[in-house]
Structure 1
Amino acid sequence: MKNILLTGSSRGIGAAIASALDLPEVMLIGHGTKSGIAADFSKADAPAALWQAALDQLGGTIDVLINNAGIFDDNPIDQDDAAWVANWERTMRVNLTASAELCRLAVRHWQQRGSGGRIVNIASRAAYRGDSPAHWHYAASKAGMVAMTKTIARGYARDGILAFAICPGFTMTGMAEDYLASRGGDKLLADIPLGRVAMPDEVATAARFLAIDAPPSMTGSVIDVNGASYVR
């Protein structure tokens, strides 16, 4: 049995990942107000509280952490200075710092158990390509997530602790639909050679593979799911 903690499981990619992990060999704890343990990642104590609640429900053992929770808010540079900084810091806390805290707790948990574990971080194409002028903070948070994933992979592979990241491009979730509409959807779609945005279940298929089946030698890998809109 694999005990898995998945953040941001209430909707979009997270809900699709939860569905993909609805397997006999998986015990899944979801984070989200609709689907599991509520935790507001803008609050400093939320990640640790979520981790402990998940441990309690899973009998003291977590084998896989999937960090999916995130926000995608506009932050135009021409707004008030204090507001811009506050928005930057909120996105960093929710998208990156909360994920980092959970990764740290997971690594320490596996070290104390003397067993391996897996981390799957849902980053973004923006980590490599950047994003719109109103989304510096979002791109930076996802780039940080990719760098963190690679660092964990390099630092703890000898302990059987594996780390992977997925970088979706536009995905048909509520956030992407709003953004596509605001940025002229047809023009953005023309930039995707596949001719459409990704579907949540496509990202979920990659997440399930990395969480359960990916060979250990893949640790540190970053998987792109973006219809060839950005290739590395």
Structure 2
Amino acid sequence: MEKQSHILLTGASRGIGKAIFETLDIAGTRIVGHASSARGNLIGADLSLPGAAEALWNAALERLDGRIDVLVNNAGIFEPNPIDRSDIEWLDGWEQTMRINLTASAELCRYAVRHWQETGRGGRIVNVASRAAYRGDSPAHWHYAASKAGMVAMTKSIARGYGTDGILAFSICPGFTMTGMAQDYLASRGGPELLKDIPLGRVAETSEIAEIVKFCAVDAPPSMTGAVIDANGASFVR
């Protein structure tokens, strides 16, 4: 990799993504961020729509002078989808979450792998998954847990399949993290009572997850490729 890393980060407008953007926006990097709609210097792309991932990749390549060294897939949604909805509503909820959380991430991973194979440069993928990939989630969030489990399996497959090309892949699995999305969920599940399930006694800070992403994106030794890093306050250990 060149001394200066070119980074594409999805879901950069708030929460964990905003913290990642600020942490990676350091000397020696050029970072392009994404949001669901254009704002400031972030590229807008609605990842629920066909073709959006390709348009985002191409726009990022243009901004980064035709080279991306690191892809960080952080964009995702966490919306309830209870089983007592109508059949079509439940299926729409399932497919919307899969489309944004998993399929768009897969598309971007594919573009990245092909880009690095063509250039012969190698690169890094960091996929922000979730504790739910292993522990599961609430009865209203089957789809979310399944999408994150798929992301972990995809990351491992990329690491195993393309290591000889110098392509490294890492998964990060946060538990509850103090974002607006998590605060709403904590409140809906009893707030302080839910914290009793976390031995650390608190949820993670976005800055903590951002530091793990930075490590994987910039500093992690190549032999760590394929690793899944947990950050859940020991609420789930493997």
> Partner of 1:20 in structure 2?
23
Q: How many Å apart are 1:188 and its aligned residue?
A: 1.0
Amino acid at match of 1:48: E
> Partner of 1:50 in structure 2?
56
Q: How many Å apart are 1:177 and its aligned residue?
A: 0.4
Counting matched residue pairs gives 232
Find out whether 1:213 has 2:219 as its counterpart: yes
The correspondence of residues 143-158 of structure 1 with structure 2, limited to 5 A, is: 143-158=149-164
Identity %: 70
The correspondence of residues 180-199 of structure 1 with structure 2, limited to 5 A, is: 180-199=186-205
Find out whether 1:107 has 2:113 as its counterpart: yes
> Partner of 2:68 in structure 1?
62
Detail structure 1 runs of 4+ shifted over 6 Å in the superposition.
Answer: none
> Partner of 2:14 in structure 1?
11
Which of residues 74, 81, 85 in structure 2 aligns to 1:75? Answer: 81
Q: How many Å apart are 1:11 and its aligned residue?
A: 0.2
> Partner of 2:32 in structure 1?
29
Find out whether 1:159 has 2:198 as its counterpart: no
| TM-score, length-scaled by structure 2 | 0.97
How far apart, CA to CA, are the structure 2 residues paired with 1:56 and 1:107? Answer: 17
Amino acid at match of 2:21: A
Amino acid at match of 2:79: D
Question: What root-mean-square deviation, in Å, do the aligned CA atoms of Structure 1 and Structure 2 show?
Answer: 0.6
Find out whether 1:125 has 2:131 as its counterpart: yes
How far apart, CA to CA, are the structure 2 residues paired with 1:225 and 1:38? Answer: 29
Find out whether 1:200 has 2:203 as its counterpart: no
How far apart, CA to CA, are the structure 2 residues paired with 1:186 and 1:114? Answer: 50
Which of residues 62, 82, 94 in structure 2 aligns to 1:88? Answer: 94
How far apart, CA to CA, are the structure 2 residues paired with 1:178 and 1:156? Answer: 39
Q: How many Å apart are 1:186 and its aligned residue?
A: 1.4
How far apart, CA to CA, are the structure 2 residues paired with 1:197 and 1:211? Answer: 23
Amino acid at match of 1:119: I
Partner-residue secondary structure (3-state), 1:31 = strand
Q: How many Å apart are 1:39 and its aligned residue?
A: 0.3
Amino acid at match of 2:22: S
Partner-residue secondary structure (3-state), 1:66 = strand
How far apart, CA to CA, are the structure 2 residues paired with 1:87 and 1:118? Answer: 31
Amino acid at match of 1:4: I
Instruction: Extract unaligned runs of 5+ from structure 2.
Output: none
> Partner of 1:98 in structure 2?
104
Q: Which moved more, 1:19-28 or 1:138-147?
A: 19-28
Q: How many Å apart are 1:22 and its aligned residue?
A: 1.6
How far apart, CA to CA, are the structure 2 residues paired with 1:3 and 1:115? Answer: 12
Find out whether 1:38 has 2:44 as its counterpart: yes
Q: How many Å apart are 1:115 and its aligned residue?
A: 1.2
